């Protein structure tokens, strides 16, 4: 996969119809709108100049692209000077830029607690959660871009459909054929098994690992580290039973499954929840090998 900007189609039409001359009222209204736009631009320029002169500001260079607006269809970077406050995150800075300078600036965010995974971005050359990344930890100018290897929808928003499809391909939900005898009895899991899968359960579906993976960038069918980690979470859960585990191993040991991983550790490095993704992939490789070994 690669970061893609959808191609634009140009349509041209000609007409011989003559436009009617504008009325006096139309001219006055147009002039009024023009003066209002000039005042707004002047006010924004003054605010930007004032912020730039303030020593406690941070410079943001933000990727911009809007396929539906003429004049914004060519990718570019806009610069915003945002007043710095202690504890400010990249998401805080983006929200200030949007609310103060340009309301059309578009990006995803939700919980602001590094739990929902919706605001993964490419910040200063690395995949990060905007709500978790401190401005004070970054060098200026802070360069914010959409996740690489995904189609850009608008500004910092990318199409996540392919990522979700890969996650669904591993059947990311609990399955079992073995239930307790008692109607109200719990399906128990021992502490050791819980500790084994604990880290894998922390995935928040942000897509940062998939974006960082060079294999996923070149192989659109590769399941990717997030999906394989999700398969690990259930395949290693003792409550699912051997028959379900066998089914999951068949999914992940396919041609575009675990064997495509080249152990580059890029996914592990960018994971905002510190999940040892590469280790989980390697363990599933070992399980797949053992599953295919027959002694007789």
Tell me what pLDDT residue 11 has: 47
Task: Answer for the pair 204, 127: CB distance below 8 angstroms, yes or no.
Answer: no
Task: Judge whether 1 lies within some domain.
Answer: no
Task: Judge whether 22 lies within some domain.
Answer: no
Task: Examine the domain organization and report whether 166 and 148 are in the same domain.
Answer: no
**Token pair belonging to 58:** 């941070």
Q: Which domain holds residue 248?
A: 161-175+194-292
What three-state secondary structure class fits 70? coil
How far apart are the C-alpha atoms of 197 and 208, rounded to whole Å? 20
Tokens 């871009």 map to which residue? Answer: 145
Task: For residue 152, give the nearest of 79, 71, 75 by alpha carbon.
Answer: 75
Tell me what pLDDT residue 53 has: 55
How far apart are the C-alpha atoms of 190 and 180, rounded to whole Å? 15
1: pLDDT strictly greater than 50: no
Task: For residue 80, give the nearest of 53, 40, 48, 54 by alpha carbon.
Answer: 48
**Token pair belonging to 120:** 């993964």
**Token pair belonging to 223:** 């399941």
Task: Examine the domain organization and report whether 124 and 169 are in the same domain.
Answer: no
Percent pLDDT > 90 in the chain is: 67
22: pLDDT strictly greater than 80: no
| Domain containing residue 205: CATH number | 1.10.1060.10
Q: How far is CA 196 from CA 95, 193, 200, 236, in A?
A: 39, 5, 9, 8
Q: How far is CA 282 from CA 114, 147, 204, 265, 279, in A?
A: 27, 25, 21, 11, 5
Task: Answer for the pair 170, 230: CB distance below 8 angstroms, yes or no.
Answer: yes
Task: Examine the domain organization and report whether 116 and 168 are in the same domain.
Answer: no
pLDDT band at 31 (very low <50, low <70, confident <90, very high): confident
Rounded mean pLDDT of 249-278? 95
208: pLDDT strictly greater than 70: yes
Tokens 């391909």 map to which residue? Answer: 169
Tell me what pLDDT residue 87 has: 95
What three-state secondary structure class fits 252? helix
107: pLDDT strictly greater than 60: yes
Task: Answer for the pair 220, 254: CB distance below 8 angstroms, yes or no.
Answer: no
What three-state secondary structure class fits 13? coil
Task: Give 106 or 184, the one with higher predicted confidence.
Answer: 106
Rounded mean pLDDT of 255-270? 95
80: enclosing H helix or E strand: strand 76-83
Total residues found in the chain within this entry: 296
Rounded mean pLDDT of 222-242? 94
**Token pair belonging to 142:** 């802070």
Task: Examine the domain organization and report whether 108 and 79 are in the same domain.
Answer: yes
Q: What is the pairing mode between strands 142-145 and 57-64?
A: parallel
Percent pLDDT > 70 in the chain is: 89
Task: Examine the domain organization and report whether 143 and 165 are in the same domain.
Answer: no
| Domain containing residue 72: CATH number | 3.10.20.30
- Enter the pTM of the model: 0.77
Start-to-end CA distance of the chain, whole Å, equals 44
Number of domains making up the chain: 2
Task: Examine the domain organization and report whether 200 and 142 are in the same domain.
Answer: no
Task: For residue 138, give the nearest of 102, 84, 65 by alpha carbon.
Answer: 84
Task: Answer for the pair 67, 154: CB distance below 8 angstroms, yes or no.
Answer: yes
Task: Judge whether 35 lies within some domain.
Answer: no
The conformation of residue 126, written as its DSSP 8-state character, comes to: E
Task: Examine the domain organization and report whether 59 and 103 are in the same domain.
Answer: yes
Task: Examine the domain organization and report whether 52 and 117 are in the same domain.
Answer: yes
Task: Judge whether 3 lies within some domain.
Answer: no
Rounded mean pLDDT of 139-154? 96
Task: Examine the domain organization and report whether 153 and 233 are in the same domain.
Answer: no
Contacts of 136 (CB under 8 A, 6+ apart): 86, 88
Task: Examine the domain organization and report whether 133 and 96 are in the same domain.
Answer: yes
């Amino acid at each position: 996969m690669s970061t893609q900007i959808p191609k634009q189609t140009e349509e041209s039409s000609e007409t011989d119809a003559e436009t009617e001359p504008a009325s006096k009222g139309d001219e006055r209204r147009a002039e009024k709108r023009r003066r209002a736009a000039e005042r707004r631009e002047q006010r924004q320029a003054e605010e930007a100049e004032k912020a730039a002169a303030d020593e406690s500001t941070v410079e943001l260079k933000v990727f911009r692209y809007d396929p539906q607006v003429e004049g914004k269809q060519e990718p570019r970077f806009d610069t915003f000077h945002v007043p710095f406050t202690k504890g400010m995150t990249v998401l805080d800075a983006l929200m200030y830029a949007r609310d103060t300078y340009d309301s059309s600036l578009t990006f995803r965010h939700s919980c602001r607690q590094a739990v929902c995974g919706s605001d993964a971005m490419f910040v200063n050359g690395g995949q990060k959660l905007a709500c978790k990344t401190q401005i004070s930890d970054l060098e200026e100018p802070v360069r914010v871009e959409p996740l690489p290897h995904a189609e850009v929808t608008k500004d910092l928003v990318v199409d996540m459909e392919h990522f979700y499809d890969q996650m669904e391909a591993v059947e990311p939900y609990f399955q079992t054929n073995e239930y307790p005898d008692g109607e109200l009895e719990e399906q128990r899991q021992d502490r050791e098994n819980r500790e084994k899968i604990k880290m894998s359960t922390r995935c928040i579906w942000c897509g940062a690992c998939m974006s960082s993976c060079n294999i996923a960038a070149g192989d659109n069918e590769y399941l990717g580290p997030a999906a394989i980690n999700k398969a690990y979470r259930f395949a290693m859960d003792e409550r699912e039973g051997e028959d379900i585990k066998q089914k999951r191993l068949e999914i992940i040991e396919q041609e575009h499954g675990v064997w495509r991983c080249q152990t580059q550790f890029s996914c592990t490095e960018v994971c905002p929840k510190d999940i040892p993704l590469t280790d989980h992939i390697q363990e599933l490789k070992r399980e797949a090998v053992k599953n295919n070994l027959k002694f007789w």
